[in-house]
Amino acid sequence: MGWRLRVSHVTRMEYDGEAHSSYNEVRMTPAHNVLSSRVVVRPATTVHTYEDYWGTTVSSFDVTEPHRSLTIEAVSRVETSGPRRPRMAVTEPDPSMYELLRRTPMTAVNEELVELAKTQAFGRDPHESAEAICEVVAARVAYMPGSTGVRTSAQEAWDLGQGVCQDMAHLTAALLRAAGLPARYVSGYLHPRPSAEIGEPVEGQSHAWVEYWAGEWLPLDPTNRSLVGEAHVVVARGRDYSDVPPLKGVYQGPPESHQEITVTVTRL
């Protein structure tokens, strides 16, 4: 049994001066069972929508008039589903998933970690291997907000022993791929309080987890050591964070800017 959720994601950019123009891409529209969705930009401008290589909905827009701030508000209503139970695993990866077996700069790890991944997978089926790898990551990397940045690699998070959901997702994907399991990085939102009343707005979170292929795509959340279910809202999938940033853009103007992000999730 799933949930019906309203997700509001507001990003506000403040420039230390006047920006003359900006060019942006936004990935904030949920991927499945979307009841309604809109992206509103201030200053007002036309928003174009397309689907990228990985199947993610992208909203793109340009602001060509001078502005001192930029506000992007993405509001969606979506139906989620409960945890999926794995079926009989397929042991051989599909050749079409080669890209999701390769390491990327953010998911590169040393040979010691490659051997660790293979050890965790030895003698186990794909589901058991994925769960074992997820446990290794969760045991090694302590969740510590602010300890890493968006450019932190999987190896750096392992060496540091702490990070955020993005780091745990990168590291888990890296080890899954090293063990021969295609894996993709997933970004979206998480409702953090299952006990919240219907209609009660809750400060939500942008979140990241992984999916591995074993005849079907199955999710794992190494940060929470939990099943992925009704509290998770999928927005984008790719090889790593660089394929799925919520906001990517450039602007002409002052060198300094400040960003404020608010995510609110409400059960309906």
Task: Give yes or no for a contact between 263 and 9, defined as CB atoms under 8 angstroms apart.
Answer: yes
> What's the pTM value of the predicted model, to 2 decimals?
0.94
Residue 265 has pLDDT above 90, yes or no: yes
> Tens of pLDDT along 65-115?
999 999 999 999 999 998 877 776 666 767 778 999 999 999 999 999 999
pLDDT at 194: 87
Alpha helices in 93-153 (DSSP H): 111-121, 126-140
Burial of 60 (0-12, 13-18, 19+ CB in 10 A): middle
Task: Give yes or no for a contact between 263 and 8, defined as CB atoms under 8 angstroms apart.
Answer: yes
Per-residue pLDDT, averaged over 217-233, amounts to 93
